[in-house]
Structure 1
Amino acid sequence: MPKHQHHKLPKLEMLRRIVFLTVGAVLVSVALEIFLVPNKIIDGGIVGVSIIVAHLTDLPLGLFLFLLNLPFLILGYKQIGKTFALSTLYAVTIMSIGTTLLHPVAPLTYSTFLAPVVGGVILGIGVGLVIRFGGSLDGTEIVAILFSKKMPFSVGEVVMFINLFILGSAGFVFSWDSAMYSLIAYYIAFKMIDITIEGFDESKAVWIISEEAKEIGDAIMSRLGRGVTYLHGEGGFTGGAKRVIFCVITRLEEAKLKSIVHELDPASFLAVGNIHDVKGGRFKKRDIH
């Protein structure tokens, strides 16, 4: 029986991944063909280049979305890994088919306000889902990863430089109004990608250094229902032993935790950081009696 369960879990995980990669790619197709492209608004990266080339050649957008991403998928397969490359190939294929099928459908709006806002939101959710479930829809990220290894720039800086160049090109191909609307859509999509990947119930990692570590730790466990871990450290200046409390909370619990720490030791050191994912351990909140 345990053996059967061992084989079943990866299949369920694979099915889950395929479902969310499909949903994400379809959402991107909807954002492009129903909101952005008909209003001459482009996205960054290979998608943006594909929109420009499709406009100049009068050939289907889906064709360029697939063909222009293909070389980067081959690079990704060699440099980043088989699972990522296959997930990306699947998502890009669905996006290409989706844009082709949706091309004859009339856009929902020609509003210069609604098109970039709604299109940007849908695009960001779609791209975020694909990234969250192990794929990508844009070869630019693969280029950025490869460039960052050989140049003194981070992946984010390389992506930003490429995208600013592509979004700027929209001004020459369409109009400068289009370029500015594209920038708005890109910014909204960028924010929505973050929210989709991290979730609204964002987790926070907390480190507390205090002389009252045990008392604060007990209060966090009893009043917040969160587990804590005590770490042993050494003061850099004094060389004295320090007790560090580490715990993970949700964004909504941050204010309450700070008030607990301030109440028990106003002189304590407190650091809070965002974390993208939490798995295992005893993160699940226990009941407070």
Structure 2
Amino acid sequence: MVKQKKKVKTVYKFLFLTIGAILASIGLEIFLVPNNIVDGGINGISIITSYLTKMPLGVFIFVFNLPFLIFGYSQIGKTFVISTLYAISILSLGVSAFHTMPSLTQDPLLAAVFGGIIIGIGVGMVIRYGGSLDGTEIVAIILSKKTAFSVGEIVMFFNLFILSSAGVVFGWDRAMYSLIAYFVAFKVIDLTIEGLDESKAVIIISDKPDEIAEVLMARLGRGVTFLEGQGGYSKQAKGVLYSVVTRLEVSKLKSIIDEIDEEAFVTIQDVHEVLGGRLAKKAIH
């Protein structure tokens, strides 16, 4: 039974890696490439090199990413590298298959926006299911462990270099359209990974923890965990509650707390993913 579930999960994973890579290839070949707009990372370098040499884009995407995958095999992990290799292979085949298809628009702004959206969905889907479509992210992860720079800062440095190169090759107006495409894709990747139904982690410190917990479970249908706390100044015991709610329930939660204890201390933070432990949603009274 366990093996069967594992096989289904693996098939499910590679199905979405395939869909994500195909979507990214559509965004590249149907929108960006025909309008001389580049993507970030290795794909951007591949677009520029393909334009200068007149050789197939798919070949450069695969060949340029391969050294990064070999470099990251022992550093990051076998599963991630295999998933990334598979996704990049599908991307390379995809851009080759879609290369003969005409662009859906000749307007560079529309191409940048819609290309960015489709690429963002594709890349986000691949990342969500354990892979990547860009070898520079692997290097960035490794370098971030050995330097003071974060993964985001290293990736940004790579992309600034690539966009500057695009300005030299295609003209600075195309470099600016490329920046728009990159920004749109970046935002859509976040939406795809995190989802639209964003969750919030709530910590409540109150003198009436039992009453608040009872009402939250009854009116929001959310589980509540009791923690032990102590006031730093008063040294008195404090009731601390922890719960996770959706973005749309935050206003109702604040109202409930205010009704019961106006002096309660509340912190609310973004949560990227929630696994298990959630109660079935009940109707809000």
TM-score grouping bracket, smaller chain normalisation: over 0.9
Instruction: Choose which of 123, 127, 139 in structure 2 pairs with 1:127.
Output: 123
> Do the aligned partners of residues 71 and 283 (structure 1) sit closer, same or farther apart at CA in structure 2, a change above 3 Å counting?
farther
Query: C-alpha distance in 2, partners of 1:234/1:163?
Result: 48
Q: 1:112 offset after TM fit, Å?
A: 2.0
Q: Which residue of 2 aligns with 1:35?
A: 31
Instruction: Choose which of 175, 191, 196 in structure 2 pairs with 1:195.
Output: 191
Q: Alignment partner of 1:104: what SS? A: coil
The answer to whether residue 17 in structure 2 is matched with residue 21 in structure 1 is: yes
Q: Which residue of 2 aligns with 1:262?
A: 258
Q: Which residue of 2 aligns with 1:239?
A: 235
Q: Which residue of 2 aligns with 1:216?
A: 212
Contact 1:248 1:283 in 2 (8 A): no
Contact 1:141 1:159 in 2 (8 A): yes
Instruction: Choose which of 87, 91, 94 in structure 1 pairs with 2:87.
Output: 91
Q: Percent identity of the aligned residues?
A: 60
Instruction: Choose which of 224, 239, 249 in structure 2 pairs with 1:228.
Output: 224
Q: Alignment partner of 2:245: what SS? A: strand
Query: C-alpha distance in 2, partners of 1:150/1:90?
Result: 28
Q: 5-14 or 163-172: which moved more?
A: 163-172
Q: 1:266 offset after TM fit, Å?
A: 2.0
Q: 112-121 or 94-103: which moved more?
A: 112-121
Query: C-alpha distance in 2, partners of 1:286/1:201?
Result: 17
Contact 2:223 2:277 in 1 (8 A): no
The answer to whether residue 247 in structure 2 is matched with residue 251 in structure 1 is: yes
Query: C-alpha distance in 1, partners of 2:58/2:113?
Result: 23
Q: 1:23 offset after TM fit, Å?
A: 0.4
Q: Which residue of 1 aligns with 2:152?
A: 156
Q: 1:6 offset after TM fit, Å?
A: 1.1
Query: C-alpha distance in 2, partners of 1:80/1:237?
Result: 45
> Do the aligned partners of residues 177 and 250 (structure 1) sit closer, same or farther apart at CA in structure 2, a change above 3 Å counting?
same
Under a length normalisation based on structure 1, what TM-score does the superposition of the two structures give?
0.95
Contact 2:21 2:90 in 1 (8 A): yes
Q: Alignment partner of 2:228: what SS? A: strand
The answer to whether residue 165 in structure 2 is matched with residue 169 in structure 1 is: yes
Under a length normalisation based on structure 2, what TM-score does the superposition of the two structures give?
0.97
Q: 1:241 offset after TM fit, Å?
A: 1.7
Query: C-alpha distance in 2, partners of 1:258/1:93?
Result: 49
> Do the aligned partners of residues 28 and 7 (structure 1) sit closer, same or farther apart at CA in structure 2, a change above 3 Å counting?
same
Q: 105-114 or 27-36: which moved more?
A: 105-114
Per-residue deviation, residues 211-236 of structure 1 (Å, max 9, x unmatched): 12111111111111111001112223
User: 5+ unaligned residues in a row in structure 1: which ranges?
Assistant: none
Query: C-alpha distance in 1, partners of 2:284/2:8?
Result: 34
Q: Alignment partner of 1:59: what SS? A: coil
Per-residue deviation, residues 109-154 of structure 1 (Å, max 9, x unmatched): 0112210111000000000000000000001111111111111111
> Do the aligned partners of residues 230 and 29 (structure 1) sit closer, same or farther apart at CA in structure 2, a change above 3 Å counting?
same
Query: C-alpha distance in 1, partners of 2:127/2:39?
Result: 16
Per-residue deviation, residues 31-81 of structure 1 (Å, max 9, x unmatched): 000000111111111111111111111111100100010011112211111
Contact 1:128 1:196 in 2 (8 A): yes
Instruction: Choose which of 200, 205, 217 in structure 2 pairs with 1:204.
Output: 200
Contact 2:137 2:155 in 1 (8 A): yes
The answer to whether residue 103 in structure 2 is matched with residue 107 in structure 1 is: yes
Q: How many residues align?
A: 285
Query: C-alpha distance in 2, partners of 1:187/1:73?
Result: 25
Contact 2:43 2:61 in 1 (8 A): yes
Q: Which residue of 2 aligns with 1:57?
A: 53
Query: C-alpha distance in 2, partners of 1:54/1:34?
Result: 16
Q: Which residue of 1 aligns with 2:132?
A: 136
Over the aligned positions, Cα root-mean-square deviation in angstroms equals 1.3
